[in-house]
Structure 1
Amino acid sequence: MGERSYPRDTRDEHQASTSSTSARHDSSHVLPPLFPRPGGAMLAANQVAQLALRGGPSSSAAASLASASAGRRKRASRPKVRSGCLTCKTRRVKCDERKPTCARCEKADVECDGYIKEAVDPRRAAEQEHLILAAQKASRRHLLPRPDGTASSRGAPAPGPAQPPPPPPPPPALLSSNPTYIRVDQSDVPYFDLFRYQLIKDLGGSCQADFWSRIVLNESSRDPCIRESILAIGALSQTIFFDAESSKRFGGLPPSALRPWGTPRSYSTGFLNRHHKAALLHHVKAVSIYRQRIQGSSADDTSPRSIIIMTLLLIAFEFIQGNMKNVDSLMGTGMRLLENKITLMHGGLRPGDELVDAGAGHLSPRLRSSGGRPDDEMEDIEHLLPCLCLMAGFTHFFSSHRNSVLLMNSSPKLQLPRPGVTAMAKLQALWGQFFTRAVVHVMRTMHDQLNYNPMDHAKAARERETFVEYIGLWDGVLEAYRGDPALGADARRTLDSIQIQRLLIHIVVSCSLDRGEMMYDLFEAEFRELLDRVVRYLRDPGPVPRVSFTFSEGLTSPLAMIVSKCRNHELRMRAIHVLNNLSWRESAWDGQALVVGKSGVVLLEERGMGVDGFVPPEARWIWMSGKWDIEKRELVATYFRLTPNEDGTPFTAQLVLDMDNLVYSCDMIGCLGRHNPFESYEQPI
């Protein structure tokens, strides 16, 4: 690469070194425009004039000295040498790089501390020099989202008239849909771009797009903790999903609960590549900032908004790698920090809170700031972490929900969106709040029944009937939205996903008080419709995710429910086939892991099934717990029979299941069906 000459004044070596270091530091960041100083004169000329005045010459002499200095030519500037010995680098002097002791250290009679490993590596040194020169060329760069969603990268404007500094960031409630500018180190720009242009689509899925694409990105412009987490997720995803070398090294299989991702031990550096190193460095920074923030303030001062966003980002970092134990720990910590800070963790609703028109702009006073201003749609995101924690409790990988569910409010609350008035993002938030409360009702009822706790059956029945009524109202609203001819493909897909969740929660809530699960037999038609909706959703060519994980609830939970609660063999086996072939994980639900344990329920129940296909009460089971042996590729699953022994004691059974080879019950009952889930459901089953 050819050399370039830059003007430079001939001041002493130390001042030149300091100036060079400062220039390199500035060029390594993506900064907002830098404006000339208000005085209008260049800093170098002012410094020379001040030196002359301190020496005592007249003002005319000082002016001539300044003029002469400004007219001098400056010698060529080159990148600072980084390969000198450690002693010369500390003393800020030039090193001839002689080994084992350089000439300057020998002449000064001091010990030469040698050279760092990276400095003596020619390939690494050449790469560093290339990066330095590239940074000097792109000395100022912006991350300005364009309206059409493409990246914007421009250099700094030419110096002009003095301008006022940029305004401070707006308050949270006034943030626009995209941040104005974001300061990101030059080497981290690809990670941030990967996150905002690809990963937010995969992480948000069809039901959390607004949270990831707008709220998280806005927070990243003013919160360094969130920004570091975003960069960590981007760098990690680049390593796992977008790097051909890494993908090939791990067999091309994405990480999951059954295949946690790790770093090969053969690398002396401890990192798979530079992206992996960047991911860990950014993650450590984010965790450090977050820990200091929590420890440096009382529990009441920690913003629930910050807790929700940061906990979900940290969880995403672990979920992508399949580290379920770390995810469980993070969920438990986040829920403890949110205690008494969100409406879902408060007591019962006050009068007038049950039926609210979403178009009226209602906001609970508990979610307003001291000045009465809404806390930047905190109401729309407060359910995200609790819902994730609750749904994780159904997957047998997590236990953090056990302490949280008893503190949550299960009172039914209805806020219906208005077709043609309420935006799709608000509809998703309102549905998420309602869905979370319904899951709390189901989880608490199940907890009390399995532990034989005393229950207020009358209150639980009233809650159930109210939820069933509200679920029916939601059905009408969703169909009204879907009937809009101007509805886009993405919005239509979102509504289809919510309808799947609505039908699922309708079945589960309706049967929540039946401890023996006999009532599920009355919902075979609904199970059939649920499976039909899932298969139609899969047939619809939606966006193909590059990251095999999403926070959006969608297909895994309804399929798992069909396998475990529907006693129709054909429907069960079709659901098993679909679940086993899902190529991504949804929230805490890993389909390829769940299908292993759920297939054990089918095996146990169909051993006691009658010739007419009916499963009697004494042959019905639920999957209680499991121990996953990743090395042996085995699951030791414990199952609980819903009918206890004659003396009232529980009856359990254990199965050792192969993670990679499902056990089907078809041979045991003489079934010859293919159970192709994508065949028509018109024929009788």
Structure 2
Amino acid sequence: MDPIPKNPRKRAKHTRSRLGCRVCRIRRIRCDNTHPTCLKCSSTGRKCEWYLGDSTSLCIIQRSPSNALSDDALENRFLDFFRQNTLYHLSGSCEIDFWTRIVLQVSEREPCVRYGLVALGSLHEAFQDEHFSDSRLFPHETQFGQYAWMYYIRAIELLNTHILVEGWNGVEVALLCCILCVGFEWLRGCYGVAEGHLQSGLTILNQWLEGKGPESGYVSYSSARADFMLSQIAPVFSRLALRARTFIATPVPCTALLVSEHRFPPVPALKDARDELYGILGQSCMNGTSYRSSTYPTWSATKETKQSQLLNLLSEWYDTRSMVFSSTNPDSVSLLISYTMIVIMVGTSLSTDQMQFDRYEDQFGLIVHLADILSSLNNSHSASVPIELVPILYYVALKCRHPLARRRAVSLISACGRRESPWDSDATARIVREVIAIEEEGVALVVEPSDVMPFARVNRLWVWTNLDNRKSDLKCRRQGDQHWTESRVVTW
């Protein structure tokens, strides 16, 4: 037997890295040292913690001298308004970390993002004044509205410079600015321009996902930046695209991130549950077209199969995530509203027959009831509502023909008294009232949904809204009719 060596070989000594947040060091993974929250923690929903006296705490902010707070008191005022008000109108509960931490963090080192936030805050405050003051000026005519436009132009100029200098190496900043531009144009009421920004952002995202960008400066899929784009930026674009489908004429293409297979883990988490739910909805509008757009009869079986698969996915999602609904907090209520809406949308996607919506009378009633609860919470200021109620109630009021439910939906829209992305509550309520009048014209009393005849139901609706002049032009096409009605002008 060989003798045991007197000095067994030992592992070489090394100094443990002092870089990285406490969480990443415990997990023994490489930290990107982004402050105040590193990308590894933010992308996985962990609370990022740093050791006291960490010398890297200002490493990113110090990279650019423009990151310091501006000396302009007005800029700081609007940025503060964005932090305290606007971001909560832009985000649902699933995006709250994105807006409250990530976007604000990036704005500290990227001037184009900062000016985008300042512009949004200024415009939002202008609309708040328009709703709650006696001024007869339109938002764009106010001093705050003019400031908003000035800051917006500045943000665009800085973004163009950023793209010229950084190229694909700065793609995540460009995508963040696209999101801000969409929000600004939606709030301004310029839906066509907003659609252009959204299309541009989706095109960039698709090119990166498909590996069509140039190799020089290209963000590798294995990098932390790629993880940030996939886990934070891409889902926001998915929701913007799905949201845009409710009010613009041109279909918005869905990106590759929407068509991944779903495997639901047994442990429910609210953010994961919501992301999965929106992913299922994304599958329902793949390729930028709706099911009914095809004129080929041979596709019917495929469409029916796909609908069945989506409904099964929704059922599986509900079964595995049912624990989320045991709570009555606003986030859980909002998620149940979203789920119920998606079930209706998928279940009615194969036909344009408006009578099919009568089968979902109970679901519509549930949505209105839950929206009433959220609206009460919002009015009491006891909690912020983590969902956009106006577009949901708009859909209910148009598709539900039960007289009490749809009128309650209109009342809740009016009570919102605010802008929600592209939605103006006053304009939306007025448009829906006009549609109800069109459908119920000539009927002495509507008691049940069946009292609204099939030929009277609006199948297609075209609306052009001028928020500055507070008027909308609308035309509709009734079920079975091939011609649009004469244009109607409604004011509010």
So what's the TM-score if we normalise by structure 1? 0.54
Answer yes or no: is the 8 Å Cα contact 2:138–2:468 preserved in 1.
no
Secondary structure (helix, strand or coil) at the match of 1:531 reads helix
**Equivalences for residues 87-102 of structure 1 within 5 A:** none
Partner of 2:483: 651
Query: 1:508 & 1:442 partners in 2: Cα distance?
Result: 17
Q: Which amino acid aligns with 1:261?
A: P
Partner of 1:584: 418
Secondary structure (helix, strand or coil) at the match of 1:456 reads helix
Match of 1:445 among 271, 280, 290: 290
Deviation of the 1:418 alpha carbon:
4.5
Match of 1:514 among 334, 340, 351: 351
Secondary structure (helix, strand or coil) at the match of 2:228 reads coil
Match of 1:231 among 115, 118, 125: 118
Match of 1:472 among 293, 309, 315: 315
Deviation per CA, 1:629-655: give whole Å up to 9, x if none: 5677543312123314xxxxx232134
Answer yes or no: is the 8 Å Cα contact 1:634–1:656 preserved in 2.
no
Partner of 1:572: 406
Secondary structure (helix, strand or coil) at the match of 1:338 reads helix
Identify if the C-alpha distance between structure 1 residues 458 and 340 changes in structure 2 by more than 3 Å, giving closer, same or farther. farther
Match of 2:239 among 364, 371, 387: 387
Deviation of the 1:528 alpha carbon:
1.4
Answer yes or no: is the 8 Å Cα contact 1:464–1:510 preserved in 2.
yes
Answer yes or no: is the 8 Å Cα contact 1:638–1:652 preserved in 2.
yes
Query: 1:328 & 1:499 partners in 2: Cα distance?
Result: 28
Q: Which amino acid aligns with 1:375?
A: D
Partner of 1:637: 474
Secondary structure (helix, strand or coil) at the match of 2:306 reads helix
Q: Which amino acid aligns with 2:402?
A: N
Query: 1:441 & 1:367 partners in 2: Cα distance?
Result: 26
Query: 1:640 & 1:521 partners in 2: Cα distance?
Result: 19
Answer yes or no: is the 8 Å Cα contact 2:162–2:170 preserved in 1.
no
Secondary structure (helix, strand or coil) at the match of 1:185 reads coil
Deviation per CA, 1:443-469: give whole Å up to 9, x if none: 7225606xx566712221122112212
Deviation of the 1:371 alpha carbon:
4.9
Secondary structure (helix, strand or coil) at the match of 1:414 reads coil
Partner of 2:39: 173
RMSD: 4.1
Answer yes or no: is the 8 Å Cα contact 1:503–1:526 preserved in 2.
yes
Secondary structure (helix, strand or coil) at the match of 2:206 reads coil
Partner of 1:672: none
Deviation of the 1:556 alpha carbon:
1.9
Where in structure 2 are there 5+ consecutive unaligned residues? 1-31, 43-47, 50-56, 62-66, 213-217
Answer yes or no: is the 8 Å Cα contact 1:609–1:619 preserved in 2.
no
Identify if the C-alpha distance between structure 1 residues 588 and 462 changes in structure 2 by more than 3 Å, giving closer, same or farther. farther
Answer yes or no: is the 8 Å Cα contact 2:82–2:121 preserved in 1.
yes
Secondary structure (helix, strand or coil) at the match of 1:624 reads strand
Deviation of the 1:262 alpha carbon:
1.4
Answer yes or no: is the 8 Å Cα contact 1:173–1:376 preserved in 2.
yes
Match of 1:311 among 178, 181, 196: 178
Q: Does 1:433 align with 2:279?
A: yes
Query: 2:288 & 2:454 partners in 1: Cα distance?
Result: 22
Answer yes or no: is the 8 Å Cα contact 1:260–1:322 preserved in 2.
no
Query: 2:273 & 2:114 partners in 1: Cα distance?
Result: 28
**Equivalences for residues 194-209 of structure 1 within 5 A:** 194-209=81-96
Partner of 1:375: 227
Question: Which structure's residues are more often helix, by fraction?
Answer: 2
Identify if the C-alpha distance between structure 1 residues 609 and 306 changes in structure 2 by more than 3 Å, giving closer, same or farther. farther
Deviation of the 1:287 alpha carbon:
0.8
Deviation per CA, 1:294-331: give whole Å up to 9, x if none: 35566xx2655333311122233344444445433322
Q: Which amino acid aligns with 1:479?
A: S
Answer yes or no: is the 8 Å Cα contact 1:448–1:455 preserved in 2.
no
Answer yes or no: is the 8 Å Cα contact 2:470–2:491 preserved in 1.
yes
Identify if the C-alpha distance between structure 1 residues 503 and 169 changes in structure 2 by more than 3 Å, giving closer, same or farther. closer
Deviation of the 1:406 alpha carbon:
7.2
Identify if the C-alpha distance between structure 1 residues 578 and 175 changes in structure 2 by more than 3 Å, giving closer, same or farther. closer
Identify if the C-alpha distance between structure 1 residues 608 and 338 changes in structure 2 by more than 3 Å, giving closer, same or farther. farther
Answer yes or no: is the 8 Å Cα contact 1:380–1:429 preserved in 2.
no
Q: Which amino acid aligns with 2:97?
A: D
Q: Which protein has the larger Cα radius of gyration, Structure 1 or Structure 2?
A: 1
**Equivalences for residues 238-317 of structure 1 within 5 A:** 241=128, 248=133, 250-251=135-136, 261-263=139-141, 272=143, 277=147, 279-295=148-164, 301=168, 304-317=171-184
Partner of 2:253: 405
Secondary structure (helix, strand or coil) at the match of 2:289 reads helix
Identify if the C-alpha distance between structure 1 residues 415 and 312 changes in structure 2 by more than 3 Å, giving closer, same or farther. farther
Identify if the C-alpha distance between structure 1 residues 263 and 478 changes in structure 2 by more than 3 Å, giving closer, same or farther. same
Deviation of the 1:509 alpha carbon:
0.6
Answer yes or no: is the 8 Å Cα contact 1:367–1:374 preserved in 2.
yes
Q: Does 1:337 align with 2:204?
A: yes
Query: 1:302 & 1:455 partners in 2: Cα distance?
Result: 45
Deviation of the 1:407 alpha carbon:
6.8
Answer yes or no: is the 8 Å Cα contact 2:259–2:279 preserved in 1.
no
Answer yes or no: is the 8 Å Cα contact 2:178–2:201 preserved in 1.
yes
Task: Report which stretch shifted further, 380-389 or 205-214.
Answer: 380-389
Q: Does 1:526 align with 2:363?
A: yes
Query: 2:172 & 2:223 partners in 1: Cα distance?
Result: 17
Q: Which amino acid aligns with 2:488?
A: V
Deviation of the 1:531 alpha carbon:
1.4
Answer yes or no: is the 8 Å Cα contact 2:474–2:489 preserved in 1.
yes
Partner of 2:10: none
Query: 2:419 & 2:469 partners in 1: Cα distance?
Result: 22
Deviation of the 1:499 alpha carbon:
0.8
Query: 2:224 & 2:120 partners in 1: Cα distance?
Result: 35
Match of 1:456 among 290, 299, 303: 299
Deviation per CA, 1:350-407: give whole Å up to 9, x if none: xxxxxxxxxxxxxxxx996345885226234313224323322322xx44x43x3377
Partner of 2:262: 414
**Equivalences for residues 333-372 of structure 1 within 5 A:** 333-342=200-209, 369-371=221-223
Deviation of the 1:510 alpha carbon:
0.7
Identify if the C-alpha distance between structure 1 residues 569 and 433 changes in structure 2 by more than 3 Å, giving closer, same or farther. same
Identify if the C-alpha distance between structure 1 residues 263 and 453 changes in structure 2 by more than 3 Å, giving closer, same or farther. farther
Secondary structure (helix, strand or coil) at the match of 1:480 reads helix
Partner of 2:340: 503
Query: 1:215 & 1:418 partners in 2: Cα distance?
Result: 28
Answer yes or no: is the 8 Å Cα contact 1:383–1:436 preserved in 2.
no
Q: Does 1:214 align with 2:101?
A: yes
Identify if the C-alpha distance between structure 1 residues 342 and 606 changes in structure 2 by more than 3 Å, giving closer, same or farther. farther
Partner of 2:395: 561
Partner of 2:462: 625
Q: Which amino acid aligns with 1:461?
A: E
Deviation of the 1:239 alpha carbon:
5.6
Answer yes or no: is the 8 Å Cα contact 2:93–2:331 preserved in 1.
yes
Identify if the C-alpha distance between structure 1 residues 512 and 320 changes in structure 2 by more than 3 Å, giving closer, same or farther. closer
Query: 1:597 & 1:573 partners in 2: Cα distance?
Result: 13
So what's the TM-score if we normalise by structure 2? 0.73
Answer yes or no: is the 8 Å Cα contact 1:368–1:374 preserved in 2.
yes
- Identity fraction in percent: 18
